[in-house]
Amino acid sequence: MKCRMCNGETKAGDSSKQSICCDGCKQYFHISCQQVDYEDFVNKKKLKNSGFKWLCINCSTSFNESFNKITQLEQKFDQLSQQLIDLISKTKQTSADNTIISSSQNHNEIINEIPLRNEKKKSAIIFGIQEDLNESREIKSLCENLNINVSIKKCFRLGKKSEKPRAIKVVFNNEIDAITFKKCFWKQAKDKIFNDIYVNDDLTKIQLQNLKEVKLQLINKRASELKIIYLNVQSLLAHIDDVHNMALELRPEIILLSETHVTSDINDNEVFITNYKFLRCNSNSRHTGGVAAYVQNSLKISKIEISSADESDFWRLKFTVNKTSFAVIYHSPSLDDNSFLKNFEEWLNEIELKNFSNFILCGDFNINLLKESKQKRDFLRIIDRFKLKQIQKSPTRITQFTRSLIDFIITNVEEIETNILEQYKISDHESIFICIKEVMPKTNTSFIHKRDWKKFDHKTFLEKLKSSNWYPCYQKIDCNEMVECLTSNINDSLNKICPLKCVSTKSNIKQVSYFDFELQQLKRLKNHLFNKAKYSNLSHDWHYYKTVRNQYVSMLSAKKKYFYEKQIDLNKNDSKKMWKTLKSIVSTKSKSNITEINFNGITCYNSNEIADKFNNYFVESVKEIANNIEVDNSFENDPIDMNHHIQLSTFSEVDVDFVRKIVMNLKNSKCSADEISIDLFKNSFEVIKDHLVNIINQSITTGIFPSKWKTSIVLPVPKVKNSNKHCDFRPINMLPVCEKVLEIVVYQQIEEYFTKHNLLY
């Protein structure tokens, strides 16, 4: 038998020359020509019984049939990508059959547990169904959505009622029905049809113990690996949705991008991804150049170097995490290769690689290593001189007529692996997955104290506040002690109802709303068609792939447009939601954190150091402004005769009604320096009114301004977009609520005095 692809004979002793027959076109192929693993070929009988079909390169009919039935090859493909998804999603579908047996366990216990295991195979545990829903009705509805007909014996909730919905145990009449239900659910769960519901096997105690060991092993394995993705994105703004979804599914620590086409007029918010810092080296044009990097917030960046905008030979961005230096480069094909290589060698000299134990450089060099040339030899000589190696071996840009290796992964790291992510085809360059098998400490995880407002009850809060000890507010004469009593009583009452919790600031990446199941399926088909065209190199396969690719791009743009048009139409009568929708489109406000600030030519990366320097800068700025104010001496010759006016020697005490009017006219804000919002302050005013008025009158009578009310939180807000210079930030002060009230009381009395005696000019 001869192979339809290479016309070669089959050989029994050669595993790569074994042949298979397509069910569609009845042609024979070598398993190597059809890209079939030898292990799958050996087990073909077992796979055939489970509905396995080969993906035939020769006939498109067979391919479409295989695609519609979600073949075994696709499932294997998904399993490889599934290993890169978050740890939780991997452990949710761990089966009872693949849990390990610990060597420390008593084997007699395992043997005695076999009957119980067999009984539990008829059951399934379902999580995520709300407590107020009827379990029997919901399970039947779930089976209808799965399009399966199974016989259910009983179903019931597990455990005692709590805040979270309890799991449901479903017992089927036989084991086959249970297996059918779980397999159908897991198969469709991969396509993310069920976002909040997931199904597990019903496990015994020993199996649960084994499962914990598996989870611990996965955690330890993940902690010892650093995942990086490199891609020539060919316009980040055009492909931000695909990059966002790739970050959502694979959760890499670092994403390196070349040919971003990001210019200075593109705001960071337009290419923002939750939980990632965005580093950029801008291009001068939206049609070429530019490099960028996304770095998870959990990684602490110590140094960033960016090429200046006037350097046109190549774009480069370098940053350091721990003792590992990462860099990304783009060399435009329109620029001279020899000049680029000369500047590249000089740049490697400047960065002093000896200072870094690990160095990883990714980029599009536009020098084809699959073709012999002087530029190739010069490039290999340069990296060899610096004891570096280029580890990407397969082509990174494939078209119908060309195959080139122009995207390089250059490193001095030994324990490193690279793979092509064929299922994440974003541009006409391949996405490259890089895995470093060593511990990378994540030292930049930050925590904040946040109240749990879920348990807050306004009536209970007021009762707690009334029962607080208010005696010191009248016993003490010192304003500072009276303020301390007021503030502590409010905070203590809050802590009893909604206590402060220490939570991580890490945010979850969310699927974009318009990227629905239809788009996911079309994207999946697009990637499969590219792989088929890549291996067959037939004109009609390339044409079919380009047609579906263009259809995917058009559909993505149309769905995105329709989604926002619908949101605007739905919220046209709700100004708050409308403004929120518009802000998500135009991205006027920066969401990214301050990672570096330049103070007089010195760049700071440490957050505490940045805060201290900003504080000193704002304080000195006030002094500088005060010293630069010109004194107007024109009134020296025309003094005001105060003998004809009543002097404002003291301030008048105020009553509750006067203070109530001031408080109720305050504009609501999210926070203040004493962590008491204005909205909460207004709602509790009727309880604290007498104590607050007593403190205000004590302050204006004694002339003592409470020290605690002098403290404010200062937020540096950028005046210039995408600037890291300290002079391009302005301070926003957040003062305590009570300070604002006292300030208005004094201001109104001063204003009244000046107006009454006509002292204002």
Mean pLDDT calculated for residue range 723-733? 83
User: What fold does the segment set 224-436 form as a domain?
Assistant: Deoxyribonuclease I; Chain A (3.60.10)
Whole-angstrom Cα distance, residue 380 to residue 372?
Answer: 12
Find out if CATH 3.80.10 is the number for domain 15-82. no
Task: Give the pLDDT confidence of 58-78 residue by residue, as tens digits.
Answer: 654 443 333 333 334 444 444
Q: Are 487 and 708 in contact (CB under 8 A)?
A: yes
Task: Give the pLDDT confidence of 261-301 residue by residue, as tens digits.
Answer: 999 888 888 888 888 889 989 888 888 889 999 998 888 88
Q: Which residues of 231-260 are buried (b: 16+ CB within 10 A; e: fewer)?
A: bbbbbbeebbbbbbbbbbbbbbbbbbbbbb
Q: What is the pTM assigned to this prediction?
A: 0.58
Mean pLDDT calculated for residue range 89-101? 44
Three-state DSSP state, 570: helix
> Residue by residue, what is the 3-state secondary structure of 19-72?
EEECCCCCCEEECCCCCCCHHHHHCHHHHHHCCCCCCCCCCHHHHHHHHHCCCH
Mean pLDDT calculated for residue range 563-577? 82
- Residue 194: pLDDT over 50: yes
* Region of poorest pLDDT, from 144-153, 504-513, 585-594, 752-761: 585-594
Output the pLDDT for position 452.
Answer: 74
Greater model confidence, 441 or 372? 372
- Residue 255: pLDDT over 90: yes
Across all residues in the chain, what is the average pLDDT?
A: 78
Per-range mean pLDDT, top range of 82-96, 407-421, 574-588, 719-733: 407-421
Whole-angstrom Cα distance, residue 93 to residue 149?
Answer: 22
- Residue 3: pLDDT over 70: yes
- Residue 416: strand pairing partners: 436
Q: Are 273 and 294 in contact (CB under 8 A)?
A: yes
- Residue 99: pLDDT over 60: no
- Residue 718: pLDDT over 60: yes
Q: Which residues of 544-583 are buried (b: 16+ CB within 10 A; e: fewer)?
A: bbeebbeebeeebeebbeebbeebeeebeeeeeebeebee
Residue 627 DSSP one-character state? H
Task: Give the pLDDT confidence of 377-388 residue by residue, as tens digits.
Answer: 999 999 998 889
Q: Are 135 and 155 in contact (CB under 8 A)?
A: yes
Q: Are 319 and 303 in contact (CB under 8 A)?
A: yes
Output the pLDDT for position 232.
Answer: 95
Q: Which residues of 21-38 are buried (b: 16+ CB within 10 A; e: fewer)?
A: ebebeebbbbbbbbebee
Output the pLDDT for position 537.
Answer: 86
| Spans of all domains in the chain | 15-82, 224-436, 447-504, 517-575, 598-756
Q: Are 693 and 656 in contact (CB under 8 A)?
A: yes
* Residue 96 banded pLDDT, cuts 50, 70, 90: very low
Nearest to 201 by CA among 287, 94, 108: 94
Greater model confidence, 662 or 108? 662
Mean pLDDT calculated for residue range 648-659? 86
